[in-house]
Amino acid sequence: MPDQPSKKQKREAYRDEISHNGEAAGAELPKKKFYRQRAHANPFSDHMLTYPVAPEHMDWASLYPAYAVEKQPQKSIGQKRISKDVEIADIGCGFGGLLFALAPKLPETLLLGLEIRTSVTEFVQEKAKALRIQNASTGMYQNVACLRANTMKFLPNFFRKGQLSKIFLCFPDPHFKARKHKARIVSYTLNSEYAYVLRPGGIVYTITDVEDLHLWMVSHFEKHPGFERIPEEELEGDVCVEVMKTETEEGKKVTRNGGKKYIACFRRPEDPPWP
């Protein structure tokens, strides 16, 4: 009896089939079972990532071709430009549930998913391509893209000061062991980077099903002078909060299992005037 192909072999065969079948296959949504990957990734490891030395060197046009500017400034030091800036970042976007739910609701805003896992990033990229082809007549989903990146190390390499209006931290890895807490995506130091790339009035959205992690995130944001917590009553009717609760992969899993979701959002206040 011949040996059964491994998961890796099945995945590679599936991806080869997609690449050989051209645009017709590109319109087909990718199958998540071929892109599964372990949930944990060490953010302190060298993942051989490619990243710009500064935001002005970032090639955004390859991610958002519908917004590419044909004529580039003669003194442009970066790659091809786009007609508007990315405004929303989903850090640790997973399989992109939040991105693909928000994209039609915010059609004039560019959204970017940042994910450290290779296969998961590829899934989101392939799904974005397929949805663009399927919705070519309406132009939907041209505003959503995904990058493989380690935001704990390189967030300011991608975004200028005050560029973003929203950052999402949805169901981040809780890193339960105390010695692993330094790998959590929220810390006083990282919050300073979030404050740097957020414009005044910008919001960080957090959600988790782990109460300890929720309290950790709240504590670290409330201690940081660059953020103030938004009262729950102000979040009522916020479409981003509703999508965050219902459309992420982890959010759906928590709902199926009857778990509780802990939500906290923090606003970047205006900078005080210089004396």
CA angle 139, 69, 108 (to 5 degrees): 40
Give the three-state DSSP class for 110: strand
Cα torsion through 48, 53, 56, 58, rounded to 10: -10
User: Helix-strand-coil percent breakdown of the chain, rounded to 5?
Assistant: 40, 15, 45
Active-site residue flag, 173: yes
- 114 close to 156: Cβ distance less than 8 angstroms: no
- How do beta strands 262-267 and 198-208 pair? antiparallel
Backbone φ and ψ for 91, nearest 5 degrees, come out as: -85, 120
* Catalytic-role residue among 173, 209, 212, 238: 173
Residue (of 98, 95, 117) closest to 43 by Cα position: 117
**Distance, CA of 111 to CA of 89 (rounded, Å):** 6
- 165 close to 198: Cβ distance less than 8 angstroms: yes
Which residues belong to the active site?
Answer: 173
